[in-house]
Structure 1
């Protein structure tokens, strides 16, 4: 797992570095940056992305929101955790889909909680969906799945890496998925809630720009379940 800290306050950056260095999890790599420009330069020069980014919002040059917009273009699945002492910024950053917020002064207890949630998220999304296509057994990680579309006895699986068609029913597919991550919005559609940008009364807008219909039958269910998912994301 690759972690980046982008923080111009030396005291906060040192605290974050000490915390990450003391983590007992295996295969942790981390980098510390003092500006968004430095982070972006490193990502471009080394051609790398990070699984988790701790991002200060107010920094000289490119601020944390602008830097996160660049990160989000490169990696739709990165977990961006904003560090700020200005709570009003919470309402300005949702276009870059943050995972959590840490309010300064950052405490070890707050970091313990946010890292616990991050690992839970990775464990959830690394589960695998199995299916058969032309008698061949295939598998796709949950975090690569965008949505399923059913049409009679066929299902189309749309992923970040392409599309697959296989025989089956949406009612059968939903039983194989983790209900903490996937949401049925229509008799013909199941979506990965991590891929949702916005929900209105009758449609779901995905991060990719695709819109999918919410049937009247599922509207209240969709609203309630997505609220619970977002509450879990923001604990």
Structure 2
């Protein structure tokens, strides 16, 4: 799943970007979720949600520098300096190249001048996807404003406890806890590797050593329950994975 946000007050430009992205991802057979904002302050309120900071839910942000009230530069500064988020790939859009130097400290991925061209948007998407697929061997998260990452191959399972998620790994020193939701974690890990077996457990398939109708045994010896709502889907998924 690729999560893309567009923040642009010109409806035509916004539709042009969205249409180009949809055609591109459809051609590449990539699932995409596109969020659209027409004001910087509306996007700011979304970014300011208390459950947002734990992970970069937005992969790519296309944003105009010249939004009213809160500009694209203001939003970019908030993302980098307040949220301490370096994972969102920010692509600025502008009528003038005079903003280029002002954006240097925000570390955008690219800068596109209007009128936009489809080939330029596609080039940006190609570059970001190449970067993303080459770095998706890690799970990335935040604890108290600091950024961390752990190798996905070392993660045995994720466990939800209230408003926090525990990362249980093969190395005890890498076990961590952060504010977040299992449902959001599920969106950024490979569904071929991680199975949602319970509303509180997301487990890595290769670390399952035994499977029964209502539970799993992990390599650690821990028994993880399979919820009644997930039993059929887990059974079918495990059968499919074994056949492959």
Which residue in the other structure is 2:17 paired with? 16
Distance 2:69 2:125 in 1: 28
Deviation at 1:55?
Answer: 0.9
Q: How does 1:34-183 map to 2 (within 5 A)?
A: 34-45=38-49, 47-48=51-52, 49-72=57-80, 73-74=82-83, 75-127=85-137, 140=151
Deviation at 1:62?
Answer: 0.5
Task: Give the structure, 1 or 2, with the largest relative contact order (CA under 8 Å, sep 6 or more).
Answer: 2
Distance 2:128 2:93 in 1: 15
Deviation at 1:101?
Answer: 0.9
Distance 1:113 1:18 in 2: 15
Unaligned runs of 5+ in 1: 129-138, 142-158, 163-235
Distance 2:50 2:125 in 1: 25
Work out whether 1:5 is the aligned partner of 2:6: yes
Distance 2:75 2:126 in 1: 25
Distance 1:46 1:85 in 2: 34
Higher mean displacement: 57-66 or 44-53: 44-53
Distance 2:51 2:104 in 1: 26
Q: 1:115 to 1:40 in 2, by over 3 A?
A: same
Unaligned runs of 5+ in 2: 139-149, 153-173, 178-244
How high is the TM-score relative to the length of structure 2? Answer: 0.51
Residue 55 of structure 1 aligns to a residue whose secondary structure is strand
Distance 1:30 1:43 in 2: 15
Distance 2:79 2:59 in 1: 11
Deviation at 1:71?
Answer: 1.9
Deviation at 1:46?
Answer: 7.7
Deviation at 1:107?
Answer: 0.9
Deviation at 1:85?
Answer: 1.6
- RMSD of the TM alignment (CA)? 2.4
Which residue in the other structure is 2:35 paired with? 31
Greater radius of gyration (CA): 2
How high is the TM-score relative to the length of structure 1? Answer: 0.52
